[in-house]
Amino acid sequence: MTKLSNAQIAWRAAQDIEDGAYVNLGIGFPEMVAQYQPPGRQAIFHTENGILDFGEAPPAGSEDWDLINAGKKAVTLNPGAAFFHHADSFAMVRGGHLDVAILGAYQVAQNGDLANWSVGAKGVPAVGGAMDLVHGAKRVAVITEHVTKDGKPKLLDRCTLPLTGVGCVTRIYTSLAVIDIVEGHFVLREKLPSIALADLQALTGAPLHLDGAVQDLIVPELS
């Protein structure tokens, strides 16, 4: 089945970030969103280890390893960037000063519950700052594959893994669709033209509701 690459999912999520928004990107896959800001728009990116308004990754070989994001990746600084204590960073998060948080997910429930950490040999060892982000940011979005590696739905009636946050997610960007969470339901906004609604529903663990026309999910070719 044709599906979006991680880069294409990240591109689609980036199109909804407003100019001047204060944004935190989760470690790993969500960090890609920063690469695809639309022309004429510039978000102000926050990293929980204590930088506001960091820039693009430096060219290979020119990294300054005193300048890293929360995922320990080298970053650059935009003019006017600020450094601050870890505690001050979380005060920004908990105080509602972030407009958007974009995170990955293991599972998302139709009521907006999020599970993006797990325990066990292959799990993330702790929930980390995500628990604060999902309840501190004004808007929480998820980027994820639509199904697991073995084909099971990641969008569910109820999460079965430990929760990161309750009722916190408002929009999900997947490899097949863009879905909003409205009044405890998945509402389909966009889908790949190549997949039928019935087939998409079969890959989703809770009903997909419609509210007007479903738009085609069109993204550029990206490596």
From 48, 56, 63, 190, the catalytic residue? 48
Report which residue type is found at 4: L
Residue 1 has pLDDT above 60, yes or no: no
What would the two tokens of residue 139 be?
């808007």
| Interval 99-125 mean pLDDT | 86
Looking at the domain 6-216, which fold is it? Answer: Glutaconate Coenzyme A-transferase (3.40.1080)
Q: 135-166: per-residue pLDDT in tens? A: 999 999 999 999 999 999 999 999 999 999 99
The rounded mean pLDDT for the chain is 93
Q: What is the pLDDT of residue 123?
A: 57
Q: Report yes or no: 203 and 38 within 8 Å, Cβ to Cβ.
A: no
Residue 66 has pLDDT above 90, yes or no: yes
How would residue 176 be classed by pLDDT, with cut points 50, 70 and 90? Answer: very high
Q: 25-54: per-residue pLDDT in tens? A: 998 899 999 999 999 999 999 999 999 999
- In degrees and rounded to multiples of 5, residue 11 shows phi and psi of -60, -45
Residue 120 has pLDDT above 70, yes or no: no
User: Is 31 a catalytic site residue?
Assistant: no
Q: What is the pLDDT of residue 21?
A: 97
The DSSP bridge partners found for residue 177 are 191
Residue 114 has pLDDT above 60, yes or no: yes
How would residue 124 be classed by pLDDT, with cut points 50, 70 and 90? Answer: low
Round to whole Å and give the CA distance between 162 and 177: 25
Residue 175 has pLDDT above 60, yes or no: yes
Q: 70-108: per-residue pLDDT in tens? A: 889 999 999 999 999 999 999 999 999 999 999 999 999
